[in-house]
Amino acid sequence: MINNRSKAVTIIKIAEKSGFSKSTVSLALQHSPKIKKSTRKKILKVARELGYVYNRSAANLRKPHSNLIGLVINDLTNPFFSELAVAIEQELGSSGYVVVLVNTSENIEKQEQVIRSLSEHNVKGVIVCPALGTPNNFIGHVNQYGMAMVTVARPIPHQKCDFISVDGDNSIFLTTEHIIAQGARNLAFVGGEEGNAAFEHRLAGFHRAIKNNQAKVDSFTINPCAINRNAASKVTQSLLATEPQPDGIICYSDLVAFGVYSGIQRCGKRVGIDIAVTGMDNIQGASDVHPSLTTTEVFIEAIGKRAAEVLLKRLSAPEIPFSNYSISAELLIRESSSLSGG
Amino acid sequence: MINNRSKAVTIIKIAEKSGFSKSTVSLALQHSPKIKKSTRKKILKVARELGYVYNRSAANLRKPHSNLIGLVINDLTNPFFSELAVAIEQELGSSGYVVVLVNTSENIEKQEQVIRSLSEHNVKGVIVCPALGTPNNFIGHVNQYGMAMVTVARPIPHQKCDFISVDGDNSIFLTTEHIIAQGARNLAFVGGEEGNAAFEHRLAGFHRAIKNNQAKVDSFTINPCAINRNAASKVTQSLLATEPQPDGIICYSDLVAFGVYSGIQRCGKRVGIDIAVTGMDNIQGASDVHPSLTTTEVFIEAIGKRAAEVLLKRLSAPEIPFSNYSISAELLIRESSSLSGG
DNA sequence: ATGAAAGCGCTAACAA
DNA sequence: TTGTTAGCGCTTTCAT
């Protein structure tokens, strides 16, 4: 029932049956222009009849390139990252690459293992969302293995590689400005882990907006927490138990905002009435929660597409200088940032 | 900066530098017991110094097995499936396999491409959550390529392969019974696509519970829709615009329930007060929404672990008969299934 | 337009 | 315990 690969059909079998030589078959299979159309047709027909399967292990041994690209993601259960992964995979896949997608679960050791493993499979390049706390020498490891790397969403400290960032600073600046314009006076920033660059960027946007509106802001607090619903809900509940209670919560991301919703509701308050809430990312579901979430559109698909393009570019031109790309975010005003509860 | 694999260090280089032969090096690298400990140590040391990277393409050419397993998922942006994928990947990874994770986006053609592509990479087995509408001959294709397959979460019609199912029938039976016990009299089942086996199973559980409680149920409706928040929210809103309005909504899954929450709230009703709602799966976030979601614990991790085990078993014993596994679900009563609004 | 032949890096008999 | 040798299936000059 299940074919044994050991008695696999090879180009030699095709050669025998079609009457051409091994090399002609190989060329024909690669759609080489050197082969006459009619013979290619014959060869492809025989290949189909025999159930031939191209053996990339063998090809890789001779060819300098493989069609394998690694996609190393810190947390696939976070919708932002899974949507990003899907976008990258789609782009790379449509360019003929096979994407090896791996989840590191924010585990640095696993991340190192994964890199080694990918290198053994002759992977030429990787796109990575680095796990929290990824050290700078990680880049060196990747390069030692002969792979190009581009990071996305999170930079590695002092990194010397291509990077596609999300527009965290400006995103949070936009949402903070908006929430102040809505009349919030006691602000809270919720979510993210200290020491992480993405967190610092977003915090910078928060502070910038506050400086920009000093007269209007009575108080503000910073409340880091793990980037998941549960942690955000808990932080919010304790936040609401302290004075002055915030009337505007700027969240690290949409996922955090979902947790904040729950924390607010558990305290008997209403989102978009008693407390204005904003997110960032515009993940699936941000428009479907109630009240719908005011957030920033960071264009996940565009980021993924760009990351794929940059890696492909890097692979074809290894010597060009490293670059940072950032795709501008846009404010998306929905219901959660209203403040009509007095 | 980036090593060129073409001038890669091979076991021959290690042999030269260490003074042993190629085969001794090969055996040593494989931790063969035939090689003296001391020489293995020397060889490993030289390998490290040279920055040797094992070339699996070359090894695959000789060995009957690769360490590659394919994980083919219908929709990675659905939390149930991404959590399942992560669980499977973890289990397989800790057994030394490299998992090639691919997202098919419910696209049957992409699914076929993916299978072909995996076979070219000498993948020995795949775990797949089939895309909607996957035809029965898909199994034949997979087997023609010499790969073993186990399906998980969704069966393929009349399939002849191992299958790990989620306990849909009983899950929905449990939630429906519970919601009736809570006092709901006008029931609605929301979510899922007609013709899909998983949908039919869950529906069967729904009907079974209704038969079981005929005297208590005044009316019920079936409302299929795509398995995402947005579709569920819309269906719910139109559902609540018709008479008799349901006071109990049994959802196809937690993700659907999230959409139902939003639909209910948009109509000015309250979940767990005016309308009881239940989900299925217990994905991350089910306990964090407000009100917390009554659902069934289907043990995603256990399902993933079992799927991995079954595939590994199949690979080592291709001839044993196919089996179906189902892990029993348990009812998880939380806030959303209350009914105190009279 | 097609064929012959060498060799990619590795494993696995078989010898020694 | 270690070395010798023959390929695995493919690509790719170089001939023809």
Q: What pTM was computed for the model?
A: 0.93
For A117, the closest chain B residue by CA position comes to B98
- The verdict on B26 and B87 lying in the same domain is no
Q: How far is CA B69 from CA A12, B93, B126, B151, in A?
A: 27, 10, 6, 13
Rounded Cα distance, B186 and B220, in Å: 6
Nearest CA to B188 among B269, B290, B81? Answer: B269
- The verdict on B241 and B251 lying in the same domain is yes
- The verdict on B126 and B214 lying in the same domain is no
Q: Does residue B59 belong to any structural domain of this protein?
A: no
Rounded Cα distance, A30 and A46, in Å: 15
Rounded Cα distance, A47 and A38, in Å: 14
Provide the token pair at B123: 């993948």
The CATH number of whichever domain residue B153 belongs to comes to: 3.40.50.2300
- The verdict on B230 and B140 lying in the same domain is no
Least CB–CB distance from B288: residue in A64, A98, A230:
A230
- The verdict on A290 and A311 lying in the same domain is no
In the prediction, which pLDDT does A5 show? 43
Contact A85 B66 (CB under 8 A): no
Contact status, residue A71 vs residue A102, Cβ threshold 8 Å: yes
Contact A3 B258 (CB under 8 A): no
Least CB–CB distance from A77: residue in B83, B147, B148:
B83
- Rounded to the nearest angstrom, the minimum Cα separation between B230 and chain A is 6
- Tokens 């809900």 label which residue? A233
Torsion sign over Cα A165, A166, A168, A174: positive
| E strand residue ranges, A42-82 | 68-73
Taking contacts as CB-CB distances below 8 angstroms, the residues of chain B near A261 are 289-290
- The verdict on A81 and A36 lying in the same domain is no
- The verdict on A188 and A214 lying in the same domain is yes
Q: What is the 3-state secondary structure (H, E, C) of B116-132?
A: HHHHHCCCCEEEECCCC
Contact status, residue B277 vs residue B251, Cβ threshold 8 Å: yes
Contact status, residue A326 vs residue A165, Cβ threshold 8 Å: yes
Contact status, residue A209 vs residue A172, Cβ threshold 8 Å: yes
Provide the token pair at A323: 């670059």
Q: Tell me the nt nearest to B15, Cα to C1'.
A: D3
> Does A64 contact chain B (CB < 8 Å)?
yes
Taking contacts as CB-CB distances below 8 angstroms, the residues of chain B near A240 are none
Contact status, residue B292 vs residue B335, Cβ threshold 8 Å: yes
β-strands B295-297, B330-332 pairing:
antiparallel
Nearest CA to A295 among A124, A116, A175, A181? Answer: A175
Contact B77 A76 (CB under 8 A): no
Per-residue pLDDT of chain B (342 residues; tens, 9 = 90+): 344 444 679 999 999 999 999 999 999 999 988 999 999 999 999 999 999 999 999 999 988 778 899 999 999 999 999 999 999 999 998 888 989 999 999 999 999 999 999 999 989 899 999 999 999 999 999 998 989 999 999 999 999 999 999 999 999 999 999 999 999 999 999 999 999 999 999 999 999 999 999 999 999 999 999 999 999 999 999 999 999 999 999 999 999 999 999 999 999 999 999 999 999 999 999 999 999 999 999 999 999 999 999 999 999 888 999 999 999 999 999 999 999 865
pLDDT, one tens digit per residue, over B215-260 is 999 999 999 999 999 999 999 999 999 999 999 999 999 999 999 9
Q: Does residue A59 belong to any structural domain of this protein?
A: no
> How many CA atoms, within 13 angstroms, populate the side-chain half-sphere of residue A174?
19
Give the residue whose CA sits closest to D6 at C1': B62
A43: left (phi over 0), alpha (psi -120 to 50) or beta: alpha
- The verdict on A40 and A189 lying in the same domain is no
Residue B296: phi and psi, rounded to 5, are: -115, 140
Contact status, residue A339 vs residue A276, Cβ threshold 8 Å: yes
Rounded Cα distance, B232 and B258, in Å: 8
B310, amino acid identity: V
Nearest CA to B151 among B93, B84, B59? Answer: B84
In the prediction, which pLDDT does A341 show? 64
Q: Could you tell me the mean pLDDT of each successive run of 10 residues in chain A, 342 residues long?
A: 58 93 93 92 93 92 87 96 96 90 95 94 94 95 93 94 96 98 97 95 98 97 97 97 96 98 96 97 94 97 97 92 96 96 58
- Tokens 């090096």 label which residue? B25
**What does strand C contact on the protein, if contact means CB under 7 A?**
A 19-24, 27, 33-36, 39, 58, 61-62; B 6, 8, 10-12, 22-23, 26-27, 29-30, 52, 54-55, 58-59, 61-63
For residue A244, how many other CB atoms are within 10 A of its CB? 11
Q: Does residue B61 belong to any structural domain of this protein?
A: no
> Does B186 contact chain A (CB < 8 Å)?
no
Rounded Cα distance, B303 and B85, in Å: 10
In the prediction, which pLDDT does A66 show? 85
First to last CA, chain B: 71
For A60, the closest chain B residue by CA position comes to B57
Contact status, residue B81 vs residue B153, Cβ threshold 8 Å: yes
- The verdict on A219 and A269 lying in the same domain is yes
In the prediction, which pLDDT does A7 show? 61
- The verdict on A155 and A103 lying in the same domain is yes
Nearest CA to B184 among B211, B219, B212? Answer: B219
β-strands A125-128, A68-73 pairing:
parallel
Rounded Cα distance, A283 and A83, in Å: 8
Rounded Cα distance, A216 and A180, in Å: 7
Nearest CA to B69 among B110, B104, B97? Answer: B97
Q: Which domain holds residue A31?
A: 4-54
- Domains identified in chain A, total number: 3
Taking contacts as CB-CB distances below 8 angstroms, the residues of chain B near A1 are 143, 318
In the prediction, which pLDDT does A336 show? 97
- The verdict on A304 and A203 lying in the same domain is no
Residue A188: phi and psi, rounded to 5, are: -135, 135
- DSSP annotation of B142: H
Chain B interface disruption, residue of A6, A10, A48, A57, most B CBs within 10 A: A57
In the prediction, which pLDDT does A67 show? 87
- The verdict on A205 and A237 lying in the same domain is yes
